[in-house]
Amino acid sequence: MKSSTYERARTPAEAAAAVGRQQGAKFLAGGTNLLDLMKLEIETPTHLVDIQDLGLDRIEKTKEGGLRIGAFVSNTALSADARVRRDYAVLTRAIQAGASGQLRNKATTAGNLLQRTRCPYFYDPNMPCNKRKPGSGCAAIGGYSRQLAVVGSSDKCIATYPGDMAQAMRVLDATVETVKADGATRAIPIADFHRLPGDQPEKDNVLEAGELITAVTLPKPIGGKHFYQKVRDRASYAFALVSVAAVIQRDGSGRVSFGGVAHKPWRVAEADAALSLGAKAAAERAFAGATPTEDNRYKITLAERALASVIDQAKA
């Protein structure tokens, strides 16, 4: 691991300014992903700004009837919150489907949104990877791609966003609140937060240098039945091959986001609109224009079947 200096900021604006001011500085929240990558020298920050003392560890009601989740709220605390379990169960289910108990205790709301891909070529510094080293090429294309993206990918990158929590936030239409290095704040709809790889796969999301996530807000509850169906190689503690986050209403209408298939949580308006017509109709629309490899073509069938299972459970 490369040496880096360390400080604890006292306010969100101070933290953002500290990271914005210094080239190579990074925010440190739980550290479960960042430290892993620092040990492999895939991430080599020169300075760490710890955000644990910023008071961002609370979940509060918003005046619109929703919830405001502080950036530093742990995955465990968020999933265990009584209001989340009652009104946003898809979020509790998605979080509890990810990682291990130890990791969920340390992982944070903001950090989880920023989790980097688990593409094996991103993790192997001996291989080309446009995300890790822009311009070096993509070893995943034509390589071992069983776990990688089937839709929204580019000829530069077929990595997936690996997280579960964000899939639930996508169906709940969450908003990411930030403060920039100059102190300006903004609210980014979760739909626009993660990027597709395009020509700049090194950019996972739309955050600017020194821009700190301060909270994620959820709109008022939308009712319905909440599901997170995750399909993986082991029953527990494995990344999704495919996952389905869904909220389905009594009349069969609803919202669906697919995980493990793209560079961002994959929710398509036409697929939502076709949900009451069944899994086949919805999946056809969600995966129109998909560009799978021979090794991951199975994910499209798997996603449709996982959705069919969810729709069956909703009817039960």
- The 3-state DSSP class for residue 175 equals strand
Phi, psi of 179 (to 5 degrees): -130, 135
Q: How is residue 138 annotated by DSSP?
A: B
Phi, psi of 262 (to 5 degrees): -150, 175
Taking alpha carbons only, the member of 242, 219, 108, 226 closest to residue 172 is 219
CA–CA distance, 190 with 262 (Å, rounded to integer): 15
CB nearer to another protein: pick between 52 and 276: 52
126 contributes a contact to another protein by CB under 8 A = no
206 contributes a contact to another protein by CB under 8 A = no
223 contributes a contact to another protein by CB under 8 A = no
CB nearer to another protein: pick between 103 and 206: 103
28 contributes a contact to another protein by CB under 8 A = yes
236 contributes a contact to another protein by CB under 8 A = yes
Count of residues in the chain: 316
Per CB under 8 A, the list member of 223, 237, 250, 270 interacting with another protein is: 237
CB nearer to another protein: pick between 5 and 136: 5
* Positive or negative: CA dihedral 227, 233, 237, 239: negative
- Beta carbons within 10 angstroms of residue 21's beta carbon: 13
232 contributes a contact to another protein by CB under 8 A = no
Per CB under 8 A, the list member of 3, 63, 142, 251 interacting with another protein is: 3
Contact residues toward another protein (CB under 8 A) are 1, 3-6, 28, 31-32, 35-36, 39, 48, 50, 52, 76, 79-80, 85-86, 89, 92-93, 96-97, 99-103, 105-106, 234-237
